[in-house]
Chains A and B, each alone.
Chain A
């Protein structure tokens, strides 16, 4: 039963550049919150501040309503999974998993039984006598997960646990972690740069950029209503199309082409449009342009269309009668348009 509150949390390593800057964040009890951001955005630093591995330059971390300022990591009752697994190389899998129970003085659980229970949960019963160096990457990460959950922590922290694994394993363990999380019902903070992980696992996502949390919301909110054009281009594959337009009383002008759009705006703004929300038509449609090239994805294709020197990506499933150089019309629902001002901030 633990909720986490971060209040104006900042961390700087040289008092000039802030890895984490004035972060306010509420993480609810039993919530699975994913901190998503590009590399160098400060997401790992934020996690380490919660774990207590770093001391904040300013601001506070609260577990429930208790300020954790003076509480060292080992008394915070958190578990952490690291990107490079951080298994103890000289210990067997059994000893690795048992470590948190053996290390803490006030353990009342039966070590043997607990290790057996956890290892069968993670399907690593057969590996207990091995050393970490004799395991594959996926097996190592399972052991690391086992070591993290055996103590039944109040908070579960994961720092890019799947980044060192290959794509197939990543997908498999993603499902595994999701199942585990449903079973354990522990407040979890999960750091990743991978939007697929964030979208598939999160209850809520916190987008972090340059040390600042710029949007917090459910995956749907983040995907459909990004508060910043950068989030639109960061999330989604291919990312949101960002098209420079001139707003002019109920019209959006792209070069000489016009879209009817009920607005009271004027001047240069950015129109965001998701590639899958656009359809291709031979006739009619709202805009027209020339096909520049195709990207084959298996189930679908990405077409890049040049409309008045703006390159727009469209996701289509049937391209039988289209070829490079064709003049086509595109159509979309004006309700799918998102508008951002020149600074990238969302305009409702």
Chain B
């Protein structure tokens, strides 16, 4: 009767080695005072966590991260659906051309995209043109939160909308043609058809839910785009950015390394990020459990 469990041992060992082990290791590390210049595993209890939770900058980083994750992923979804509609409604030959073009951003390194959308590359020239060239007296003020948060979301959506586009095109191709014909015969407009057939099919598809989950988990680790922006938003802090503007959690972890590399503290942040990601994903899973079953 015990033999079946013996055969489980190798796979359990591998799961522990690559899955549970590192997380446990990080957790233990986060309970110590380990840093680059003080490599000691002396336990300090939850000191690192308490320090984080009483740090207003850390709370700000959580807020910024959540805000950017929600905004970016929703924007990606909307843009992806829009692109998918463009692609599916075009002719069979242009369909291939369009989807090839739309897919390009996903292959560009995110840091390049970050720089591409950041103030110096576009907005310096654009503003010069608007303000002086055309003498309109207006310019895009990239130091305004509403502008730079929007632009960071747009940059992220620029990278990932193609993923949603691909998934959405696949979903649309599975919708039976008869549904549209039935709607046609019953006198519905294109908008009604989108609202009542295409859109519900997209957002109730298990494929889109899984893609959303993947993107949410990944968006919490957003780094390159805020990093690129950190060079342009003010000069009064580390790396030239006011720490409360673009400091997503990943950026905060990164910037911490520049002082004294407090590995234990950084690990504590990573654990908090892990928990937030898990909670968010399980909330999404719960919300869509009926679809995925």
Asked if A73 contacts B196 (CB within 8 A), the reply is: no
Chain A residues in 8 Å Cβ range of B185: 51-53, 73-74, 76, 78-80, 157
Asked if A99 contacts B204 (CB within 8 A), the reply is: no
The B interface, classified by DSSP as helix, strand, loop or mixed, is helix
Asked if A103 contacts B204 (CB within 8 A), the reply is: no
Q: Report the bound CA distance from A53 to B182 in whole Å.
A: 10
Q: Report the bound CA distance from A282 to B187 in whole Å.
A: 66
Residue A347 at the B interface, CB < 8 A?
Answer: no
Q: Report the bound CA distance from A89 to B176 in whole Å.
A: 10
Return the CB mask of A83-102 against B: 1 if under 8 Å, else 0: 01010111100000001100
Residue B90 at the A interface, CB < 8 A?
Answer: no
Residue A65 at the B interface, CB < 8 A?
Answer: no
Which residues 134-177 of B have a CB within 8 angstroms of A?
176
How many chain A residues touch B (Cβ–Cβ < 8 Å)?
Answer: 25
Residue B184 at the A interface, CB < 8 A?
Answer: yes
Chain A residues in 8 Å Cβ range of B189: 74, 103
Please pick, from A52, A73, A88, the residue contacting B179 in the complex, using a CB distance under 8 A. Answer: A88
Residue from the set B178, B182, B185 with the largest chain A CB neighbour count within 10 Å: B185
Asked if B187 contacts A103 (CB within 8 A), the reply is: yes
Closest to A151 in B: B186
Closest to B183 in A: A103
Please pick, from A72, A91, A99, the residue contacting B186 in the complex, using a CB distance under 8 A. Answer: A99
Residue A104 at the B interface, CB < 8 A?
Answer: yes
Chain B residues in 8 Å Cβ range of A80: 181-182, 185
Residue A274 at the B interface, CB < 8 A?
Answer: no
Given A53-B181, A82-B178: A88 in contact with B197 (beta carbons within 8 A)? yes
Chain B residues in 8 Å Cβ range of A283: none
Residue A75 at the B interface, CB < 8 A?
Answer: yes
Q: Report the bound CA distance from A73 to B186 in whole Å.
A: 8
CB B285 to nearest CB in A, in angstroms, measures 20
Chain A residues in 8 Å Cβ range of B200: 88-91
Q: Report the bound CA distance from A86 to B176 in whole Å.
A: 8
Residue B282 at the A interface, CB < 8 A?
Answer: no
User: What are the 9 closest A-B residue pairs judged by CB atoms, nearest first?
Assistant: A103-B188, A90-B200, A86-B178, A104-B187, A74-B187, A100-B186, A86-B182, A73-B184, A80-B185
Q: Given A52-B185, A103-B186, 18 more contacts at CB 8 Å?
A: A51-B185, A53-B184, A53-B185, A74-B185, A74-B186, A79-B185, A79-B186, A82-B178, A82-B181, A86-B182, A88-B179, A88-B200, A99-B186, A99-B196, A103-B192, A147-B182, A147-B186, A157-B185
| A–B pairs, 12, beta carbons within 8 Å | A51-B181, A74-B185, A74-B189, A80-B181, A82-B178, A86-B176, A88-B179, A88-B197, A90-B204, A103-B186, A103-B187, A151-B186
B residues engaging A (CB < 8 A)? Answer: 176, 178-179, 181-189, 192, 196-197, 200-201, 204
